Structure 1
């Protein structure tokens, strides 16, 4: 695999940098510098995505016929890396990244016509209804009932850990349409309007502290919610197949660009903060060893992702490889937040829950320490979730043991 950029690739890189310089304004940069999860609020995310859409870059992974860019693997890599290095916002738009590929692969023509244009334009926001109390990593144990009543399913039960459900217009949801001896059977995949009567969204506070107006996760309750049968993706009882297809996109995304940006932040903090002996943290031998190990693992993951995505561009399925990337990527994300916490030292101790309050003019309370320290502890706590969501790391080990090692 040739990793040298061609003159055309370098020209494209300059084009991406020019776009970032113009579109990624000072207001977004200020908010992102105080983000505990690398997200903006919904209005900020939509504003950013519409700027990408105006440039024709909102959906690099979509097929060209649906509005994708048609970029080469190298161009996608350059785009993701430049965005990450600039600290540009990531997005929680699950419609673009997860629901749309399922609709493209298994949806009817009517479903594609109804949903894909609005997902592409970001006019409709989606959330994911997978986990339930008692059915998180063991997703096959989900119990949200969907009983057939003529042309509708009637839903009763709940979903949990639902990211930004309070923002969502629609949910893609796994439901149990029948009881089978094999748990994976009897699960169906529904699209449902979040304005449907009988849906209640209850916020779940997290350790990182909610920012005003930005509760991240929720529990969603369904009380006799009627969903048209026409909103079902594919065949009844085949939802597990569609869910596994979707999880390849959730688990198999590129981690290395974001990890590179996190590593650079840790280095900047370590150059400014002091160790116990009064020297710079960056010069402390033990800390440098941990930092070097993290950098080597990030580079190794980067090379692996390039190899895997090259195969994917040639039509190869992700399969168990997506579990490998998710496992290593999530572990490294946690490692980076741990290193940042260690580098910031005592300045990470005054825990700032609402890291955006100062720049939004909602408080005049002075902070202890430099501005970058305010997000260190909240980000550390927020990123405890990475080894759990999209299937816990223990589940990823089991998948690889079965599919790769044949155990």
Structure 2
């Protein structure tokens, strides 16, 4: 595996750095750096800047609006975005349903939805998990019954991120209850404004509203909004989950968190000395850095395999497992490094309209919220326990 960059790659790296330095809005950068959820307005504003540059969809084929970047350029861009605290495009549209549409959708669906995803005209959410059907997704019970040119959808989805802000939801629904679990599922695109859809908030451990329950009661969905064949949705779902689990590793983001943690450790004191000189703290951080480096080289090895034409199977599950565990260890150490300033915590909305400043130094605002939210990182996208089962079966042959 050759890790050296060519002159062209280094020139591309400089182009990315210049773009981020001049185009990334300061307020968007600040929220990302702190680990706070993006605002819809800020995220859409940033995504439109990316689209105008032609960088909204690095992984899409060029014919559909992708960048045409090499594997190395994609890696460089991801690294620089993470280092600059630049948020990636919200994944539900560009990284999840977009590739499903251009791979399995018909021409009408491609022509309509893909430009709208690129231009952030539609804010998407994901209708996969249900009560009792999370990691065992194939057991889902939301039903879609054919009625002429429509499906009538009834059921419930849960843990639906940003559904309260979404324009569209891509859903797995059961269209044949008599078939084997995986063989009776279809993939539908549903307008969130359709009558019969109710969204109820779920307030997370971080006391913020990003998660939701979504209820469907006699919701009429045009058959033309089905992706691919009826009862073949599990094929499209597995394709999408492969993309999701690769991105969940968030290696570039974690590398930026390590840098931020080192900056905080220089400012915080322990026993009259900078926290950075505390042996226990240094040992914990060093262990995280070593594991993060190993994860990064593993990702590079997989990218090298893809570049040489090899197909991955369950390897993205390994990235998801280790990446999510490192994220949790990092935010836990971030909160620990803040000492008493890491303890006082209120959700962001509680500060609206107040005159007093948050407790502690400015850099203390954010770590606890991200730490609490990322307790779910080893669960969402398929729990790590399930991912280990997948690896044991598909990679190790056990």
User: Is the 8 Å Cα contact of residues 34 and 356 (structure 1) preserved in structure 2?
Assistant: no
**Count of paired positions:** 397
C-alpha displacement at 1:281, in angstroms?
1.7
Secondary structure in 1 matching 2:373 = helix
The match for 1:267 among 262, 267, 275 is 262
The match for 1:375 among 347, 361, 366 is 366
Does the alignment pair 1:317 with 2:311? yes
The match for 2:354 among 336, 351, 363 is 363
Equivalent position of 2:211 in the other structure: 217
User: Is the 8 Å Cα contact of residues 169 and 193 (structure 1) preserved in structure 2?
Assistant: yes
Q: Where does 1:244-255 land on structure 2 (aligned, <5 Å)?
A: 244-253=238-247, 255=250
User: Is the 8 Å Cα contact of residues 170 and 189 (structure 2) preserved in structure 1?
Assistant: yes
Comparing 348-357 and 277-286, the one that deviates more: 348-357
Comparing 20-29 and 130-139, the one that deviates more: 20-29
Taking only aligned residues, the RMSD between alpha carbons, in angstroms, comes to 1.6
Structure 2 residue runs without a partner (length 5+): none
Q: 1:220 to 1:94 in 2, by over 3 A?
A: same
User: Is the 8 Å Cα contact of residues 187 and 239 (structure 1) preserved in structure 2?
Assistant: yes
CA distance in 2, matches of 1:249, 1:374: 31
CA distance in 2, matches of 1:48, 1:366: 27
Q: Where does 1:86-101 land on structure 2 (aligned, <5 Å)?
A: 86-101=84-99
CA distance in 1, matches of 2:42, 2:138: 35
CA distance in 2, matches of 1:356, 1:246: 36
User: Is the 8 Å Cα contact of residues 58 and 74 (structure 2) preserved in structure 1?
Assistant: yes
User: Is the 8 Å Cα contact of residues 56 and 89 (structure 2) preserved in structure 1?
Assistant: no
C-alpha displacement at 1:150, in angstroms?
1.5
Equivalent position of 1:177 in the other structure: 175
CA distance in 1, matches of 2:346, 2:34: 10
Secondary structure in 1 matching 2:338 = helix
CA distance in 1, matches of 2:35, 2:281: 25
Does the alignment pair 1:285 with 2:279? yes
User: Is the 8 Å Cα contact of residues 56 and 69 (structure 1) preserved in structure 2?
Assistant: yes
C-alpha displacement at 1:33, in angstroms?
4.3
Structure 1 residue runs without a partner (length 5+): none
C-alpha displacement at 1:268, in angstroms?
1.3
Q: 1:167 to 1:355 in 2, by over 3 A?
A: closer
C-alpha displacement at 1:372, in angstroms?
1.2
Secondary structure in 2 matching 1:134 = coil
Does the alignment pair 1:24 with 2:15? no
Equivalent position of 2:82 in the other structure: 84
Q: 1:130 to 1:388 in 2, by over 3 A?
A: same
Secondary structure in 1 matching 2:182 = coil
The match for 2:288 among 283, 294, 308 is 294
C-alpha displacement at 1:251, in angstroms?
0.3
Q: Where does 1:125-204 land on structure 2 (aligned, <5 Å)?
A: 125-180=123-178, 182-204=180-202
Q: TM-score, normalised by structure 1?
A: 0.94
CA distance in 2, matches of 1:317, 1:179: 33
User: Is the 8 Å Cα contact of residues 206 and 372 (structure 2) preserved in structure 1?
Assistant: yes
The match for 1:384 among 350, 353, 375 is 375
User: Is the 8 Å Cα contact of residues 172 and 191 (structure 1) preserved in structure 2?
Assistant: yes
